[in-house]
C-alpha cells in the first residue's frame, strides 16, 4: 500500500514538473515576440500611416479571433488524445506569417497575420486548461499559470524598452524584429513535444461523423447548452461581457490618443504599456492567486472590473502630466493580473470535477462576440465625439460589470445558504 502511494506521488510530481516545464519554456521563448507584437498597432499607425478603420480592425481582431479559435478547440471536446497535438500545431502555425514581414508592405496582410496569431493563441486555451486540470492539482495549478502570465507581461516589459529605443533611432528595423522573434517562437515547439501524454480510452478516440453544417454550429450549440444548464456560469458571462467590452472600446482609440493627443515617442509608450504594466502584473499576481482561493468568483471579478473603471481617468489626467500615464498602466497591470487569472481559471472553477474545456471554449466565444461590436463602436464614437467621451464610456461599462458581478455574487451566496 505504501509503495502504491509513493508511486502515485511520483506520478503526480512527474506530471507537475513536465507540464510546468513545457508551459513555462514556451512562454519564455514567446517573450521577445510578444514584446514586438504589443507595439504593432502603434507601429502601423506611425510607420505605415494606417487609417482609424484599420486600427479598429486590428484591435477588433484580438477578440474577434476568439470566434474562429473555437473551431480550433472544438476538436478536443471529449478527445483527450488530441490535446497535445492541438497545442503543438497551433504553436507552429501562429508564428509562420510573421516570417514574411520583411518582404510585404500591405498593412492589411500584417493585420491578418496578427488576427491569425490571436486565433491560434486563444484556440489552445481549452487544451491547456484541460491539461492543467488533469496534470496539476490544487493551488499549484493557479501558481504555475500565474507565473507563466508574469513571464508574458514582465518579460516583454523589459525587452520593450530596448525595442522602443531601437525603433526611435532605426524605425525600419521593426520588420526584422518580427522575423527573428517569430523564428524563436517556432523553436519553442520542441518543449511542447515533452508534454506528458494524456491517458485515453478507446471511447475517447471515437468521434461521431457529423456534417459540415453541424461542425460549423457545434461550438455555438455546445456553449449555448452549457449556459442554459449552468445559470451561475451564464451570470458570470454577462458580467464579464460588460467589463471586457469596456476595455475593448477604450483600446480601439489608444493608438490615436497616444500619438495625436499625448504625442508619445516609442520609448515613452514602451515604458508605460510594457514596463509599468508588466511590473504591476508581476508584483500583484501572487496576491491575486491568494484572493482567488479566498473569495467568491463573482466578488473577485467585480473587484477586477471596478479597478478597470479607474484606468481611463488616469489616462485623461496624463494630458496634464505624463506621470499619470505611468500610473494608469501600473493600475492596468494590477487589474490585468486578476483578469487573466479569473478568465482562464473560471473554466476549471465552474467545472469542478467535470471536463473544463467546454467552459473555456465558451469564454473564448464570448470574447469574440464582444469583439464584433465593441471596437467598431469605440472607433465610431471617437469620430463623432472625442477620445474623452470614449474613455468615459468604457469606464461606465466597467462599472456596470462591477454592479452585475456583486449582485450575482450576493444571489449565489444566498442560494448556497438555502441549499445548506
pLDDT digits (tens, 9 = 90+) for 362-394: 887 887 788 788 888 888 898 888 888 999 999
The yes-or-no verdict on residue 164 having pLDDT over 70 is no
- Tell me the range of 10-24, 65-79, 174-188 where mean pLDDT is highest: 174-188
Q: Give per-residue pLDDT as tens, 311-322.
A: 999 999 988 888
Q: For residue 158, what pLDDT band results from cuts at 50, 70 and 90?
A: low
Q: Select the more confidently predicted residue: 93 or 66.
A: 93
**Statement: residue 400 has pLDDT above 80:** yes
Structure confidence at residue 205 (pLDDT) = 54
The pLDDT score that the predictor gives to residue 309 is 95
What nine digits make up the cell of 49? Answer: 500611416
**pLDDT given at position 4:** 42
In this model, does residue 206 exceed pLDDT 50? yes
Weakest mean pLDDT among 39-43, 156-160, 389-393: 156-160
Mean predicted lDDT score pLDDT of the chain: 80
CA angle 163, 328, 236 (to 5 degrees): 105
Out of 49-58, 162-171, 199-208, 266-275, least confident range: 199-208
| pLDDT for the residue 42 | 74
26 close to 124: Cβ distance less than 8 angstroms: no
Q: Is the pLDDT of residue 408 over 80?
A: yes
Q: SS3 for 38?
A: coil
User: Distance between CA atoms of 124 and 122, rounded to whole angstroms?
Assistant: 6
Nearest to 13 by CA among 139, 115, 135, 156: 135
Given this model, what pLDDT does residue 374 score?
86
What domains appear along the chain, each with residue ranges and CATH number? 2-194+219-419 (1.20.1250.20)
- Better-predicted residue by pLDDT, 304 or 274: 304
Decide: 256 and 382 in contact? Cβ < 8 Å. Answer: yes
Residue 5: the pLDDT is: 46
For 388-399, write each residue's pLDDT tens digit: 899 999 999 999
Measured CA angle at 351 (ends 85, 87), to 5 deg: 15
Residue with cell 508592405: 105
* pLDDT tens sequence across 107-135: 888 888 988 898 888 788 778 777 777 77
Contact 338, 303 (CB under 8 A): yes
Count Cα neighbours of 33 within 13 Å in the Cβ-side half-sphere: 27
- In the chain, what percentage of residues exceed pLDDT 90? 17
**Helix, strand, coil share of the chain (percent; to 5):** 85, 0, 15
- Compute φ and ψ for 404, nearest 5 degrees: -65, -50
What is the rounded CA–CA span in Å between residue 331 and residue 288?
14
Amino acid at each position: 500500500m505504501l509503495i502504491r502511494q509513493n508511486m502515485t506521488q511520483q506520478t503526480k510530481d512527474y506530471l507537475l514538473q513536465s507540464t510546468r516545464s513545457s508551459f513555462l519554456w514556451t512562454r519564455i521563448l514567446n517573450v521577445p515576440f510578444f514584446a514586438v507584437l504589443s507595439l504593432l498597432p502603434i507601429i502601423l499607425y506611425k510607420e505605415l500611416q494606417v487609417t482609424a478603420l484599420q486600427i479598429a480592425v486590428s484591435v477588433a481582431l484580438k477578440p474577434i479571433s476568439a470566434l474562429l479559435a473555437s473551431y480550433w478547440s472544438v476538436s478536443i471536446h471529449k478527445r483527450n488524445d488530441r490535446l497535445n497535438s492541438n497545442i503543438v500545431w497551433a504553436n507552429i502555425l501562429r508564428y509562420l506569417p510573421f516570417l514574411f514581414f520583411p518582404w510585404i508592405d500591405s498593412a492589411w496582410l500584417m493585420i491578418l497575420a496578427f488576427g491569425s496569431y490571436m486565433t491560434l493563441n486563444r484556440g489552445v486555451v481549452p487544451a491547456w486548461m484541460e491539461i492543467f486540470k488533469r496534470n496539476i492539482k490544487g493551488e499549484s495549478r493557479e501558481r504555475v499559470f500565474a507565473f507563466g502570465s508574469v513571464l508574458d507581461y514582465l518579460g516583454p516589459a523589459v525587452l520593450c524598452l530596448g525595442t522602443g529605443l531601437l525603433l526611435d533611432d532605426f524605425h525600419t528595423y521593426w520588420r526584422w524584429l518580427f522575423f527573428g522573434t517569430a523564428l524563436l517562437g517556432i523553436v519553442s515547439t520542441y518543449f511542447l513535444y515533452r508534454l506528458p501524454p494524456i491517458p485515453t480510452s478507446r471511447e475517447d478516440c471515437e468521434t461521431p461523423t457529423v456534417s459540415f453544417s453541424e461542425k460549423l454550429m457545434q461550438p455555438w450549440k455546445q456553449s449555448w447548452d452549457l449556459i442554459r444548464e449552468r445559470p451561475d456560469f451564464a451570470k458570470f458571462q454577462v458580467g464579464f461581457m460588460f467589463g471586457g467590452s469596456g476595455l475593448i472600446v477604450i483600446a480601439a482609440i489608444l493608438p490615436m490618443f497616444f500619438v495625436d493627443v499625448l504625442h508619445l515617442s516609442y520609448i515613452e509608450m514602451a515604458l508605460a504599456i510594457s514596463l509599468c504594466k508588466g511590473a504591476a502584473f508581476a508584483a500583484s499576481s501572487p496576491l491575486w492567486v491568494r484572493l482567488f482561493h479566498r473569495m467568491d468568483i463573482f466578488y473577485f471579478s467585480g473587484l477586477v472590473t471596478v479597478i478597470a473603471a479607474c484606468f481611463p481617468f488616469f489616462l485623461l489626467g496624463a494630458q496634464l502630466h505624463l506621470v499619470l500615464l505611468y500610473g494608469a498602466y501600473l493600475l492596468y497591470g494590477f487589474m490585468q493580473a486578476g483578469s487573466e487569472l479569473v478568465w482562464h481559471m473560471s473554466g476549471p472553477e465552474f467545472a469542478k470535477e467535470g471536463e473544463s474545456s467546454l467552459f473555456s471554449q465558451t469564454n473564448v466565444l464570448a470574447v469574440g462576440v464582444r469583439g464584433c461590436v465593441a471596437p467598431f463602436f469605440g472607433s465610431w464614437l471617437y469620430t463623432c465625439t472625442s477620445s474623452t467621451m470614449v474613455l468615459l464610456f468604457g469606464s461606465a461599462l466597467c462599472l456596470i460589470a462591477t454592479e452585475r458581478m456583486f449582485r450575482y455574487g450576493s444571489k449565489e451566496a444566498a442560494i448556497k445558504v438555502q441549499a445548506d
